[in-house]
Amino acid sequence: MQLQLLSSHRQQVVSWQPVCLFHAGLRVFAADKELLVKLRKKTGYSFVNCKKALEKFSGDSKQAEAWLHEQAQKEGWSKASKLQGRKTKEGLIGLLQEGNAAVMVEVNCETDFVARNVKFQQLVRQAASGTMFHHQGAKDHLTTYIKRFMKAAELSQLRTGPAGCLLSDQLALAIGKLGENMVIKRAAWMAVPATYYIGSYVHGALPADNPSLSNVALGKYGALVVCHASEQSQKSNLADLGRRLGQHVVGMAPLSVGSLEDEPGGDTETKMLAQPFLLDPSLTLGQYVQPQGVSVLDFVRFECGEDTEIPEAEETQQRLAQEENAS
């Protein structure tokens, strides 16, 4: 009798196990987890914040994403305000060249550790593409080359593209995520007509993490060199020559172009054409370029973290006749 009662009790216990409810719960949990993983991967925000956003909007990923961006923006601006004034001597130079135009930007942070972070590098690339986009209408129908500089206040109001965000917002987001003070310090933009070209070089270039912005080179030093090519010059060699001239500017840090009539100088010479050529010190730079039918007209050199006065934009447009006489 006791055995029969015990057996009957066990049957009742087994019959009440919530098998269907248990499997339904697993399916719901798996679906929530999938949404969470997708939102985390798309936005880059923490699992905790993504989970909170999904719970707030009952699993609506679009509303959750918009809310996450809004909260991150608020947090970034708050941190930016608190960190303002802290020294930013580290960072990167970003260089972008598209056809007859080129851009060089400097973005600073507090430590080299953050400069190596992909989020910071993305900010540098956004600053370069935003500067290029801002000047896109000015590079057409040129009769001489143009050189313009931009300071931090101007750069912060640029957009990253036709439907892009303000650079100031992107800066605040990066500060919020990485927890360091950052500054989009300066930019130089150049454009040239058809008979000219721009040589470029970045020292210590880093690999691109984003294929869509892989044409923005990153490093600690950068240079742009404006040249005029004669009809006799070898057009196929101009890109390589431009890179060598950029290397010279980075390595020798000239202060002016000078002229071919200048006497050859030593290692302390500051006129570019009179300096010993970096890659062949037995020649001056002028002696190196003259036989190749190339005239060096101007250059810009950026060194990350240097103290320098940024020229006013109104004073930077150059006239062809003056530059040809100087060279």
Per-residue pLDDT tens, the chain, 327 aa: give them: 444 444 444 444 444 444 444 444 444 445 477 888 888 777 767 677 788 888 888 888 888 888 777 777 666 666 666 667 778 899 999 999 998 999 999 999 999 999 999 999 999 999 999 999 999 888 778 889 999 999 999 999 999 888 788 899 899 889 888 889 999 999 999 999 988 999 999 997 666 555 555 689 999 999 999 999 887 666 668 889 999 999 999 999 999 999 999 999 999 999 999 999 999 999 999 999 999 889 999 999 999 999 877 665 444 444 444 444 444
pTM, to two decimals: 0.74
- What's domain 23-83's architecture? Orthogonal Bundle (1.10)
- Please determine whether the domains at 23-83 and 90-326 fall in the same fold group of CATH: no
Q: Please determine, looking at this structure, whether the domain spanning 90-326 carries the CATH number 2.40.110.10.
A: no
**Cα(89)–Cα(250) distance, integer angstroms:** 18
Residue 164 has, within 13 A of its CA and on its CB side, a CA count of 21
| Closest of 93, 91, 94, 100 to residue 242, by C-alpha | 100
At residue 93, what is the residue type?
I
Query: Could you give the 3-state DSSP secondary structure of residue 41?
Result: helix
Backbone angles phi, psi at 299, to 5 degrees: -155, 160
Instruction: Return the domain boundaries, the chain.
Output: 23-83, 90-326
